[in-house]
Amino acid sequence: MYVPFLKYRYKQSTGLSWWLFMIAGMLQCTACKKTYTPSTHLTNKLVILAELTAGDTIKIPVGKSTLIENGSTINFEKITNASVHLQDALGHFWLLPFNASPEYSNGPTSIYSYPQKIIADQTYTIDISQPDLEAVKATTHIPAAFTITEVDTLREMYTDQPVLTFNFTINDVPGEEDFYIIEALKQVVKIYRHFTWQNITYNYDTPDGKALYDRLKDQYPLPLLKDTIPTNTFIRLNMFNRDMLTDNSAINYNGDSFHRIFLSDASFDGEAYRTTVSVNTQYFTSDNTMMQGSVLFMVKSVSRGYYDYLFQYEKNKIDFGTLPSSHSVTPSGNITNGLGILGGVYKNQLTYYFDTF
Amino acid sequence: MRRVTMIAVLIMLVATQVKAQDTSILSRPFHPSLKKGSIREFLEDLAKQGGIDVEYSSTFLEIKKVITLNGKEATVADLLRQLLVNQEVKAVEINNKLIIVRANGTSPQPVYALYGFIKEDGSKEPLINATIRESATGKGTITNTYGYFSLPLTAGNHTLLVSYIGYTTKTVDVKLSGNTRTDIPLSLNGIVQEIIVTAGNSLKKGTGANIRTDEYEANNNLIGENDPVRSRDLQPGVINIQESTDGVLVRGGNPDQNLFLLDGNEVFNPTHLLGALSIVNKTSFKSMMFYKSDFPSRFGGLISSVTDVYTKDGNMSQWKGEANLGFLAGSATIEGPLIKNKTAVMVSFRHNWMSPRLKLDQESFSTRFYDFHFKITHLLNNNNKLMLNIYNGNDRISVKEDYNNNLQKWGNKLASLGWNHVLGPRSFVNTSFNLSHYNNLAGFQYTIYDDSTSFPVANRVYSTYSSIAHYNLKTQFEVYANNNIKFNFGAKAAYTKIKPFSIDISKEFQEDIGDFKAITPLPFMDYTLYYENEININHRLLIRPGIHFTTYKFRDYHFSSFQPRFFAAYKINATQQFYVAYNKLTQYLHLLNNPFLGMNNMVWVPSTRLLKPEESTSASVGYTYKDKTNTTVSAEVYWKKMYNITNYVDGGNIFSNDSTWEENILTGKGWSYGLELLTEKKLRKWLFTLSYTLSWNWRQFDDLNNGRKFPYKYDRRHVVNLAVAYKPNKNWDISAAGSISSGDVFTMPEKIYPDFDNSQHIIDPEDPVQTYRFIYYNSALNQFRTLPYYRMDIAANYYLTTKKRWQHKFTAGIYNLLGSASKYNYDLQASIDGKFNVVLSKNKLFGVSPFLSYTINF
């Protein structure tokens, strides 16, 4: 009788010891944890945010990212010492110098430019190097030329907003899939006031010119003339999507306004396609001289990567502040080793003036 | 064939002239006086010490063979198993003698079926997974979900051990001279359970876990409301995102991949309080099975787990009841006979009240939930039973915050009519018609401000309503063909109709469903056939091959799925077993979570030509150890791969266009692998359960993360659950439950870069933050990990019995003793001075919450 009892006690003790060993072992396993630690070492990257438009001169905005850390400031360091090269598929090669013009000084990026015009249906490659950051490279294709015709406009009210509605036909280029982006901007113009005295033209908006004009104006008939000079500043004009075939329904509700209208030719490849879009006229005119200018209505054929990037970019803008940052859409660019986008564009543009100067 | 039979000991009882109450020779207790010796010496010892006449012949028995006992022999049968191993002999009990004869030395005995139901004594409540086992041979079976069993035995006398967790093990002597119907009643052990010695380490028939729900009050109690389903969460491989609509995640699967059955009827959202509490009312609860590695062929429809919950049928002999009063809710169940031993009814009801505790934690939070359960069971005769089952439960939650408000309403309606029919001594069939309806309304109110004055000018409420109605007719057969083979087969036809996302935009919350815009419903049909064999190759090896076949039709889209299932268990010795399982499963429903709305905004959608059915393939290998000292250990490694699992498209909004909703959903792959350990130790007054999960959980979508794999958001590498109960006497039990786990992974932007329009010198005059515009960038999804999770709950029960039938239970405890978060959320915020802050929010519905509750059984 005694022996089985001893066996029983022995087994019981073994089980408990094993069990305690399990607890200790598992607690040790859980002790080696990492928290809020990225899996890779994070470094800043060069940024390209450029649109190469057929017929326009080369202008490449180049910037740098900022790492996010607790307490880090939202600020972008300018890149003024980059080496920027652009070449086309025919072997033409341009070295783009940094453009120090004051009109670009306020932007978050630096402009590298060259007075060479971009050609439609051509492929361009850009290489940028900078001493502190990894070199980047990107390629884009400028779409082939296309036309828009039969443009009708109508002033009306849409969703309680005054709009100018554009009805027009896109004459799609057959072959590869084309992607269209429609947008409207107001290009701020600078008012250039001048007068001519003894066959010499003087700028009224300079202190000397104004003083001369004030001295002469009562003695001679001296007309003060105004000219508008387009600047590189633009004002965004909101649009309303009137076409159910666009991709905008995946961004927001159709009753809401959009910055850009996204349309692919999947359903009308090679055909004439009639579409409608309305532009909010709220900023067509302004008493503020800083907001006066010409209204540009643009229908752009863009490269696929650029289309996707801007689509995600617009989605991101709409969600900003309403979704946690973890849900934010990160636009996927085409910059190797860097961030941003190099987009190719062929555009048809209509220009309207509504301001009186 | 005889030579092939490695298990040479065929012990058969052919007892004659034995009184029913006598104990058979083989099952008599016996402890040999020697540990090592020849067979002859042991048989002489048996005769001398045990007073048993033993007859044998040395012509077919190697009597000089030396045997060393393993020390585990407690009965005559235990001793003979060791002595006669590899001898082609068998022991026959005749005229109170033990005769050892050649295995083929006697004519074969006819085999009859002992069948019937194992029920609770008095109430006649069928007991699910109760064990019935012949003590001499260890041969046995378990009852099915309706308490039915069929055990093939040879003619003659048999002593059977009948056991069930929480009930007193019963010894039943039967004499078989033909197929015999025996309904066996088992008695409850009483309110306070002593440590139960279960019926030994029987050869596994599957890995489905019969979850005990009465062991750890601390684990199950949510502020005074006992939720039996929470016991499941102690199992390794299960992650319960406490107080979250993401709910339960099993082996790296999505929340929508877990099938929850209430009395056999599918429930699409089995929770109250945004997932904090299950819809199962403790006062009506009977039993729960949980499957995650081995899926019997009758299960299908969802691909990661099955939780199979059964409620009481109703007491057939007397009226009884149970009521519970807690901080969170009050509940009561009454059951009793409408016609004694013929018709029983069970009615259960629960309703919450806004507890002061809840108010204290969440001033802006108000909630209301209730559930009602009605069941009537009618015995047509000994072989036929009808069951009508009705459930209705609803939730309403509103959250009011400074700038936006949320309203959430959801509910389940269930109804089923079932028929149990005993076809004969070896076969049983259950047929049922089931209806399950789930609806969900999510409203989100926001305020529109005047740009010039910053004053609020209007409210807008964006509401969505979706519902799913599921009807099925199914029949399930169980046939015990002979001693070693059982057939399970059946069929199901199901019709499901989804109304996915009706939308309403209004000035105030719309709770009237009629105000919602009608959307074209999405109906589909699916048909199922299944078949499996449970084959006992010998007393050490069981295999269970099976097939589950479904065919699906949604509009012009058809899909068929062959789903092989396989399970095998091998008994190494009396304490250890190995098992393997392989399963393929398919599900036709996808659950989508719209990130654009708050709270529970999940929508079920069907599989389509674009949105393929989800499928999983899994394999696991396990080991179990269970000894007579009440130590159990199990270890299992598993691998699971999932196909066509869903995710919203980046930038997609399924609610914006109901004709193109499929295009906004990405499908991809997921896979998971890991190790799960579970150990239980029972001492006289103590009970410990420890589980540990080591797992890796991955996802891969072609259009996400540049096609690279990324960890699933609940990729918790280590999860440890520990529960301890102490029962010093019959009046008290004290328990504590805790868990520690790795943090979740999450996505956070790691960089910003200049805004595109800003770089083009485009100014948006409507943009209030144009100065701080930037673009977030993250190089990979889910590359950050949160803090580890930990939590602890404690509770104590005091039991008091007054008069004869009144039993009282007083419960006190502290829920979330450490005030732990149930979920960490990290967000990035940019302040007005242009600085970033990484903000950690620790979400929890309940902080440190002391509670009291009172339960009465009458």
CB A290: neighbour CB atoms within 10 A? Answer: 12
Domain boundaries, chain A: 46-141, 147-304+347-353
B284 and B401, same domain (yes or no) = yes
Residues of A (202-241) whose Cβ lies below 8 Å from B: 232-236, 238
Number of folded domains in chain B? 2
In DSSP terms, A45 is beta-bridged to: none
Query: Do residues B645 and B613 touch, judged by C-beta distance below 8 A?
Result: no
Answer yes or no: is B607 within a domain: yes
d(CA B661, CA B611): 10
User: Which distant-in-sequence residues (6+ apart) come within 8 Å of A162 by Cβ?
Assistant: A155, A156, A280, A281, A282
Residue type present at position B700 = Q
Same domain, B303 and B167: no
Rounded to a whole number of angstroms, the distance from the CA of A240 to the nearest CA of chain B is 15
- Scanning A8-27 for CB atoms below 8 A from B yields 8, 11-12, 15-16, 18-19, 22-23, 26-27
Residue B851's identity, in one-letter code, is F
Distances from the Cα of B208 to the Cαs of A131, B476, B621, in angstroms? 63, 18, 14
Tokens coding B61: 């028995």
Residue B594's pLDDT is 62
The answer as to whether B609 is a domain residue is yes
Q: Is B14 exposed, middle or buried (0-12, 13-18, 19+ CB in 10 A)?
A: middle
List the one residue out of B676, B683, B677 whose CA is nearest residue B633. B677
- For residue A125, the Cα-to-chain-centroid distance in whole angstroms is 19
Nearest to B836 among A64, A74, A328 (CB): A74
Min Cα–Cα distance to chain B from A356, Å: 20
Last residue of a domain, one of B160, B186, B212: B186
Tokens of B214: 């009465």
Spatial separation of the C-alpha atoms in residues B521 and B498, rounded to whole Å: 6
The answer, for A286 touching chain B at a CB cutoff of 8 Å, is: no
Looking at residue B7, what is its pLDDT? 32
Cβ-nearest to A72 among B660, B766, B836: B836
**Measured torsion, CA atoms of residues A102, A108, A112, A117, in degrees rounded to the nearest 10:** -90
Cβ atoms of residues A39 and B747 within 8 Å: no
* Beta-strand pair B427-449/B456-480: antiparallel
Q: SS3 string of B360-420?
A: HHCCCEEEEEEEEEEEEEEEEECCEEEEEEEEEEEEEEEEECCCEEEEEEEEEEEEEEEEE
Q: What was the pLDDT predicted at B773?
A: 77
With a CB cutoff of 8 Å and minimum separation 6, the contacts of A129 are A82, A83, A135
- A69, B763: Cβ pair inside 8 Å? no
Q: Which long-range contacts (CB under 8 A, 24 or more apart) does B802-808 make?
A: B805/B320, B805/B857, B805/B858, B806/B856, B806/B857, B806/B858, B807/B191, B807/B856, B807/B857, B807/B858, B808/B854, B808/B855, B808/B856, B808/B857
Counted residue by residue, chain A has a size of: 357
The minimal CB distance from A73 to the residues B649, B759, B834 is found for B834
Q: Which two tokens stand for residue B343?
A: 């018709």
Q: Return the number of other C-beta atoms located less than 10 Å from residue A69's C-beta.
A: 12
B603 lies in the same domain as B736: yes
Q: For A318, which residue in chain B has the nearest alpha carbon?
A: B651
Give residue B128's domain range.
111-186
pLDDT for res A26: 40
Q: Are strands A57-64 and A46-53 parallel, antiparallel or unpaired?
A: antiparallel
Share of chain A residues as helix, strand and coil, in percent rounded to the nearest 5: 20, 45, 35
**CATH number of the domain enclosing B545:** 2.40.170.20
From the list B720, B764, B772, the residue facing A30 with the nearest CB is B720
Dist CA A14 CA A7 (whole Å): 11
**Quick one: how many helices (H) and strands (E) in chain B?**
5, 56
Give the span between the Cα atoms of B428 and B304, in whole angstroms: 28
Q: Which two tokens stand for residue A288?
A: 């503020």
Residue B284 shares a structural domain with residue B165: no
Q: Which residues of A touch B31 (CB under 8 A)?
A: 1, 4
Q: What is residue B770's predicted lDDT score, i.e. its pLDDT?
A: 63
For chain B, the residue count is 858
What is the per-residue pLDDT for B368?
87
Q: Which of B119, B153, B186 is the last residue of a domain?
A: B186
Tokens of B41: 């010496």
Give all strands of the β-sheet with B285-291 in edge-to-edge order: B209-210, B285-291, B305-311, B258-262, B265-266
pLDDT of A338 reads 96
Nearest CA in chain B to A106: B761
Do the Cβ atoms of A36 and B761 come within 8 Å?
A: no
Q: Does A157 touch chain B (CB under 8 A)?
A: no
- Segment (H or E) for A10: helix A2-31
| CB-CB under 8 Å, A37 with B784 | yes
List Cα–Cα distances, B384 to B196, B376, B377, in angstroms.
33, 14, 11
Inter-axis angle of helices B76-83 and B39-50, nearest 10: 170
- Report chain B residues whose CB lies below 8 A from the CB of A259: 757, 764
ipTM score of the complex? 0.87
Rounded to whole angstroms, the Cα distance separating B327 from B223 reads 6
The Cα–Cα gap between B826 and B784 comes to: 10
∠A7-A9-A13 over CA atoms, to 5°?
115
| Residue A103: φ, ψ to 5° | -65, -15
CA distance B675 to B672: 10
Planar angle of CA B439, B443, B444, nearest 5 degrees: 155
Q: What is the pLDDT of residues A219-260, one digit of tens each?
A: 888 888 988 889 999 999 999 999 989 998 877 777 788 999
Are A63 and B754 within 8 A, CB to CB? yes
- Residue spans of beta strands (DSSP E) within B450-556: 456-480, 485-506, 522-536, 541-554
Closest CA to B542 of B583, B486, B618: B486
**Dihedral sign, CA of A328, A333, A339, A340?**
negative
What is the Cα B521 distance to its own chain's centre? 32
Among A10, A36, A256, the strongest candidate for a mutation testing the B interface, having the largest count of B CBs within 10 A, is A36
Pairing, β A161-171 against β B285-291: unpaired
Quick check: is B44 in a domain?
Answer: no
Contact list, A341 vs chain B (CB under 8 Å): 756
User: For residue B490, what are the contacts with CB-CB under 8 A and spacing of at least 6?
Assistant: B298, B474, B475, B476, B477, B529, B530
Q: Report the alpha-carbon distance of residue A280 to residue A293 in Å, rounded.
A: 15
Would B159 be classed as within a structural domain? Answer: yes
Look up residue B22 and give its amino acid. Answer: D
Task: Determine if residue B454 is left, alpha or beta; phi over 0 gives left, psi from -120 to 50 gives alpha, anything else beta.
Answer: left
> Chain B interface, mutation test: which of A330, A332, A336, A342, most B Cβ atoms within 10 Å?
A330
d(CA B809, CA B583): 43
User: Side-chain half-sphere of B211: how many Cα atoms within 13 Å?
Assistant: 26
Nearest-angstrom CA–CA distance, B400 and B366: 9
Nearest CA to CA, how far is B748 from chain A (Å)?
5
Handedness of CA B138, B139, B143, B144 (dihedral sign): positive
What is the distance, to the nearest Å, from the Cα of residue A211 to the centroid of all Cα atoms in its chain?
43
Residue of B nearest to A59 (CA): B760
Is B773 part of any domain? no
Residue B248 falls inside a structural domain: no
Nearest alpha-carbon partner for A22 in B789, B633, B751: B633
Task: Name the residue facing B653 among A74, A250, A326 (closest C-beta).
Answer: A250
pLDDT at position B193 is 44
Q: Mapping DSSP to helix (H, G, I), strand (E, B) and coil, where does residue B593 land?
A: strand
Domain boundary at B168, B186, B204, which? B186
Domain A46-141 = CATH 2.60.40: yes
Cβ-defined contact of B688 to A19 (cutoff 8 Å): yes
Low-confidence ranges of chain B (pLDDT < 50): 1-22, 191-199, 650-652
